[in-house]
Structure 1
Amino acid sequence: MLTIETALGPIDAAKLGATLSHEHVLVGMGEDIAHYPWRYDMTATRLQSIKELSEAKAGGIDSLIDLTTPDLGRDVEFIRDVSAASGVNVIVATGIWRDVPRSFWMRDIDEIADIFVREIEVGIGETTIKAGCIKVASDMGGVTPEAERILRGAARACRRTGCPISTHQWAPEEVGRRQVEVFLEEGAPMDRIAIGHSADSTDADYLEELLRTGVYLSMDRYRSSRPPQLEQRNTTLKVLIDRGWAQSSCSVTTTPPPRSSGARNVHQPQARLGTSSAPPSRPRRWSPRASPEEPSTSCSAMSPGTSSRARPGRSALAWRCEI
């Protein structure tokens, strides 16, 4: 049986159902909630999160992948409680976003990988909640030395465990190209990697260059006010489809902060959970990590063990919305 790690423990992959592939149940931006608790009403925040995920469940969403990292204020126990109350399966992440902690700047890369592997195989913090994916990020200005250490640590953790990687890139500067170079240098399994924010580029040649290395593209930010606009994003996607790269369903994210104490209507999600494009009859779905006993493929529509390397003629575009 193929199993997936969630905040409530492992489940049969067949029970994932309709899955949103990049979400944030709660974004706390670092340690603010822990250090300044009087500023936040976490009871109201928890109730709001349960309400929204319950609405998503009623709308047909069964599972979501939460890619919130420690520097984004990851709280897996909060996620566990919201998952249990709403009935939505939540897969949580290890890794680091853009705000690389100073403790990682000089840390040995294998030690960074060990941290990620521990959260994948043993549990996050003092909990038994295991990560089902690895989040990494490189933004405007390219891959910094600190971010490169995280990329290499993630690649080594992915190679050791099979746990997939989802990246954040600055597509206007084609930062995904350097991310891919690092992953190749580290010998990471490229069919376990999705390059994020790829819809921020209208250069189909650049995007196809990434696809030909074997990675997936995360075509996201479809509700963003930043360029390119929706029509341009769709045009780029259509070009890739016409070149033989398949279509996939779309996940629209929310990035909810905690409610401020005493404030009214603070929570302003970017988009409603559960919004999606009309998926094809067999939508491509990027799998979170399965149990070590039976590794998952990168496409849930494929049988375990089937090669899932990106190539024209099969599904290779995964739409995600991420920060």
Structure 2
Amino acid sequence: MSDYQNPRSPESSHREVGHREQHGTLETFPDPGLPEHKSRMADRDPQAAKRGERQVALLFGISVIGTIASMVVYFALPPDGTTSGVRLSTLSLGLGIAFALLGIGFGAVHWAKVLMSDHEKVDERHPVASDAETRAVAVQELEAGVKDSGIARRGVLKGAVISALALFPLTIAVPLVSSVGGDWNVSKFKHTLWRSGTRLAIDPSGRPIRAADVTIGSVVHVIPDVSEEERQSHEWITEKSKAVVLLVRLDPRDIVSTQAPQGEDWAYDGIVAYSKICTHVGCPVALYEQQTHHLLCPCHQSTFDVADSCKVVFGPAKRPLPQLPITVDDEGYLVAQSDFHEPVGPSFWERLK
């Protein structure tokens, strides 16, 4: 085998570089410079430039239409309290805002790619502190950039951009301003649909549930059993969201305590009911661990002990889940003894804990 080694092989190149580094003669690479500029169709053909201008104006026009459409939807299709009504209102408003934003975004990108100057330039590094002459040059560069954008001589684009950017904030401002005169009576959040004798119904079917239907270890999501007229009311979705409850049946021997005052019983034969709304930020608490009797909030991992008054055993929540006092009626159906005895959900701002 020959001992000859290609002087350009990786092994010899590494040794050569190392030798030059040791002797302080490391070579530098020459500046490759900028690649040759390739002109675009819009640079060569005035018709192509005009066509690109119309395309950009169209995209900003779509943004304007999206903004106007979102305003129309906001006032013409308010949520009516039904699931389908809320879905239609939210979807329509979201689509309007999406077109408003996408029109601005795509319009700006297309403008930059088709009409603005695409010549690459190199700015040498310089000290952070600039003198007056350098600042003057920077201002000139900014003015040149404005000139390159062509906005000064393209009136259609100028109008489209100004209209899109000026109108889009309305999609945010109008809902905020219109809500200022809304109902700010926070005391309503301290009460729910639960009343003495209200049956517990399975969510979402609305079928009332008997105590005999709940086996030890099972978990049932329940809501108040209300009339069909109440279900079709405008307030149903809001009221239902406050009244959702998690029903759990334990072995009565495993129950350490409940929130019932001394001498009262808020459970029935091991069946306990607690609000599903986390007392941290209001996420639905619905992950039940049968062996430990722990309820977990999936948002921030607050954990509550169902067997011990739903006290917090882990996580950022600061107070137990409120308990719904329950019993059974003459037909064996589970019913509420009363409403919750404290506000459900996150702590109010006037609370100290």
Q: Does the TM-score normalized on the shorter chain lie above 0.5?
A: no
Which protein has greater RCO, CA pairs closer than 8 Å, 6+ apart? 1
Question: What's the TM-score once normalised by structure 2's chain length?
Answer: 0.24
**Higher helix fraction (1 or 2):** 2
Larger Rg: 2
